[in-house]
Amino acid sequence: MSGWPFDYRSNRLWGESVPLDRIAEEIGTPCYVYSRAALAAAYEAFDAAFGGRDHLICYAVKANSNLAILNLFARLGSGFDIVSGGELQRVLKAGGDPQKIVFSGVGKRPDEMRAALDAGIFCFNVESRSELEMLDRVAREVKKTAPVSLRVNPDVDAKTHPYISTGLKENKFGIPFEEAESLYALSRQFENLRITGLDCHIGSQLTELAPFAEACGKMLELLDRLQTQGLEIDHLDLGGGLGIRYSGESPPSARDYVNALCGQIGQRKQRVLIEPGRALVGNAGVLLTRVEYLKHSPHRNFAIVDAAMNDLMRPALYDAHHEIVPVISKNDGNVKTYQVVGPVCETGDFLGHDRDLALSEGDLLAIMSAGAYGMSMSSNYNTRPRAAEVMIDGDRIHVIRERESIDQLIAGETIPSWRTAGLDCFLSPL
């Protein structure tokens, strides 16, 4: 499978108006490639679906936090959902509007709260009573009032992979639905907090509307009750989680998803926030990799490629499926069933199982739908420098992150002078 903006033209895979083999020649592999047009189209589909309703799309930065991608979304008018002080710095550096930032996450540190208060963010999505107390204390210290939304756990089964389901009552996320009202009542007593919203997020890669609708219904019920109790809630944040097509899935479109939510919200006047991550970037990116070796055993055929679990962790972590396609397709090739694996010393280091491909050593492959939770989850395991990232814009390419060097990787490390008690011995590095 491939699909716009990555399509074949006479056996060659292109991204917008650039053949992907050209990028591999110029930049090397492994390399993430994103399409500017696809990123913008994904944002605009959500935005247009809201029509005239007061709304804010807060892109979930953790899906892909490259500055160029953040800058593109900021220019389109997007807000941002951050989960750390580091992501806050990225958004500010990329030109994001602090007044469009929501800060999520179960473990915000006081210094991160301070930085967000200094920046003047739109809202803190608070997940526990202890966090409310801490935020109030930090806000008092810096003489500010913190805008707060409580993240409520609606106890809805998102029917997705257990590692990415967050809205069930046994998850670590959010405030139990039954406790939400009493915690809202309590929040009013904090002098340095101002309650502004209501928030939930039930999971990721949801491919059906039903769980979203169920969660939305519960949140609206709660919203109405809070309003009758005299609390002024001026925004409703319904989180992210809309799935994408990796291979066989058929998730709802952005339009159908937004229409369903807005239909339920009806005439209510609150501003509506959503926090899509994957649905904005997932299908706008591919990971280019080169086949290094083919290894045939009596039982299996292995294609050993130069990308690995450190570059794209989703297969190893969630047993996730990414389509893997040749950059130059051959009509006359000898098709075999391959295990597509990386060079990392782990049996879990695979990118795809049982793929029917006609391969030769040196061939280029594109791992599709790698724009979300690819680069942002990458690591340096096995002292592998992280991949380069490129953005295509029409017929032009921009390197938006250089390939890491080994020197950058080890720059922060030092060898102590080993002056052990009494011995005063110094082992010089060789």
Ligand X SMILES: *Cc1c(COP(=O)(O)O)cnc(C)c1O
Residues that bind ligand X (CB under 6 A): 60, 62-63, 81, 104, 201, 204, 239-242, 275-279
Residues 6 or more apart in contact with residue 328 via CB below 8 angstroms: 11, 12, 13, 21, 363, 364
Question: What residue type is assigned to position 67 of the chain?
Answer: L
DSSP 386: P
241 annotated binding-site participant: yes
Minimum distance between the CB of residue 305 and ligand X, rounded to whole angstroms?
26
Please report, for residues 324, 373, 423, the alpha-carbon distance to residue 350 in angstroms, rounded to integers and kept in the order given: 12, 16, 48
Q: Pick between residue 60 and residue 341 the one whose CB is nearest to ligand X.
A: 60
CB of 325 to ligand X, least distance (A): 24
In whole angstroms, how close is the CB of 399 to ligand X at the nearest point? 25
* Residues recognised as catalytic: 345
**Nearest CB to ligand X, comparing residues 213 and 328:** 213
The residue (of 158 and 367) whose beta carbon lies closer to ligand X is 158
| Those residues with Cβ within 8 angstroms of residue 319's Cβ, 6 or more apart along the chain or in another chain | none
32 is in an annotated binding site: no
Whichever of 60 and 70 has its CB closer to ligand X, that residue is 60
131 is in an annotated binding site: no
Does the annotation list 318 as a binding residue? Answer: yes
Question: Does 276 carry a binding-site annotation?
Answer: yes
Shortest Cβ 378–ligand X spacing (Å) = 16
Long-range CB contacts (within 8 A, 24+) of 90-99: 90/61, 90/65, 91/61, 92/119, 93/67, 94/67, 94/68, 94/70, 95/70, 95/71, 96/70, 98/122
Minimal distance in Å, beta carbon 128 to ligand X?
Answer: 14
> CA–CA separation, 296 vs 288, rounded Å?
23
Name the residue type at position 259: N
Give kind and range of the element (H or E) at residue 123: strand 123-126
Query: What is the DSSP-derived secondary structure letter of residue 243?
Result: -
Which residue, judged by CB position, is nearest to ligand X in the bound state? 277
Pick 161 or 330: Cβ nearer ligand X: 161
Please give the biggest Cα pair distance in the chain.
78
Residue 314 assigned as binding residue:
yes
CA distance 357 to 244: 24
Which positions make up the binding site for pyridoxal 5'-phosphate?
241, 275-278, 373
The annotation places the binding site for substrate at: 278, 314, 318, 346, 373
Binding site residues, as ranges?
A: 241, 275-278, 314, 318, 346, 373
